């Protein structure tokens, strides 16, 4: 069977009802970074402060996951053999990977991994983060980057020191550091001392919207488009790694 026919069989095919599967996704983001993820469950903590979780891949209901991926405009590959896993790793995207194949070919993707909660939902592997992300306070350089990003003004009331001499700008963790919030630009916002002091509750997730006002509204079409763009970037990246014949 030629490769194109085998790929056609694997795409959006029916998983074996007698087999067990993991749901694994491999993409490349807009910054060119490889992102792999899987449906997972909590198995413990990796540190005494309980800031870093250990999560392990979960076996899923393959038929339900397949239906959900199709419903949101994505697709998937059914992986039942080592030949299939080779194709999946070349093409990327969503994969329903049979339990035995995953343990044999990609054990690092299903074993317990140290992760932290991301601001957008889900989890981020610790190794993908700079060490400074776990610092309680931002560095002077990061602090100035946040203030410049926010146009030297409070993102709640809009006041800035250039217009009001009483204004003092603070850098605030939207998700508090004490409950696992990271010291990264996507979790930091510029507030004046008055708004900062008056926050109630202290953790207000709606502040995330104030640091990305131009972000596209979330909808199913955007979600699907972002997925397919991530797949295309992954495939282009893989093509660059393939050996070129004479």
Distance CA(208)–CA(173), nearest Å, equals: 10
- When pLDDT is averaged across residues 44-63 and rounded to a whole number, the result is 92
Alpha-helix residue ranges (DSSP H) falling in 61-214: 62-71, 82-91, 99-105, 107-110, 140-149, 193-198, 207-210
| Predicted local confidence at residue 216, as pLDDT | 45
pLDDT mean across residues, the chain: 89
Tokens encoding 94: 């969503």
Order of strands, edge to edge, in the sheet holding 53-57? 40-45, 53-57, 113-117, 123-125
Over residues 86-106, the pLDDT tens digits come to: 999 999 999 999 999 999 999
> Quick one: which of 119, 33, 69, 28 has its CA closest to 223?
69
Distance CA(230)–CA(35), nearest Å, equals: 9
Which of 108-112, 115-119, 165-169 shows the lowest per-residue confidence on average (mean pLDDT)? 115-119
Q: Residue 136: is its pLDDT beyond 80?
A: yes
| Predicted local confidence at residue 50, as pLDDT | 84
Q: Residue 234: is its pLDDT beyond 80?
A: yes
pTM: 0.78
What percentage of the chain reaches a pLDDT higher than 90? Answer: 64
- When pLDDT is averaged across residues 177-196 and rounded to a whole number, the result is 92
- List residues bridging with 36 in a β-sheet: 26
Q: Give the H/E segment covering residue 113.
A: strand 113-117
Distance CA(185)–CA(145), nearest Å, equals: 8
Distance CA(115)–CA(59), nearest Å, equals: 19
Task: With beta carbons less than 8 A apart as the criterion, state whether 59 and 20 touch.
Answer: yes
| Predicted local confidence at residue 109, as pLDDT | 94
Distance CA(26)–CA(37), nearest Å, equals: 7
Over residues 204-231, the pLDDT tens digits come to: 988 988 886 544 444 556 778 889 999 9
- When pLDDT is averaged across residues 143-148 and rounded to a whole number, the result is 96
């Amino acid at each position: 069977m030629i490769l194109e026919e085998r790929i056609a069989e694997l795409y959006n095919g029916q998983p074996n009802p007698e087999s067990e599967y993991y749901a694994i996704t491999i993409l490349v983001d807009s910054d060119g970074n490889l992102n792999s993820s899987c449906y997972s469950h909590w198995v413990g903590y990796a540190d005494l402060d309980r800031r870093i979780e250990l999560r392990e891949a979960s076996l899923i209901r393959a038929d339900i996951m397949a239906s959900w991926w199709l419903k949101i405009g994505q697709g998937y590959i059914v992986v039942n053999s080592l030949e299939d896993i080779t194709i999946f790793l070349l093409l990327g995207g969503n994969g329903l990977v049979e339990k035995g194949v995953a343990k044999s070919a990609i054990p690092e993707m299903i074993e317990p991994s140290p992760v932290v909660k991301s601001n957008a939902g889900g989890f981020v592997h610790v190794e993908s983060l700079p060490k400074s992300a776990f610092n309680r306070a931002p560095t002077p350089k990061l602090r100035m980057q946040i203030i410049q990003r926010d146009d030297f003004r409070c993102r709640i009331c809009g006041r800035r020191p250039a217009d009001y001499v009483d204004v003092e700008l603070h850098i605030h963790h939207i998700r508090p550091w004490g409950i696992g919030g990271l010291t990264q630009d996507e979790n930091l916002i510029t507030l004046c001392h008055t708004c900062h002091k008056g926050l109630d509750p202290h953790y207000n997730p709606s502040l995330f919207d104030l640091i990305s006002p131009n972000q596209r509204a979330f909808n199913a079409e955007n979600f699907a488009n972002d997925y397919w763009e991530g797949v295309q970037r992954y495939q282009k990246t893989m093509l660059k790694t393939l050996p070129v014949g004479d």
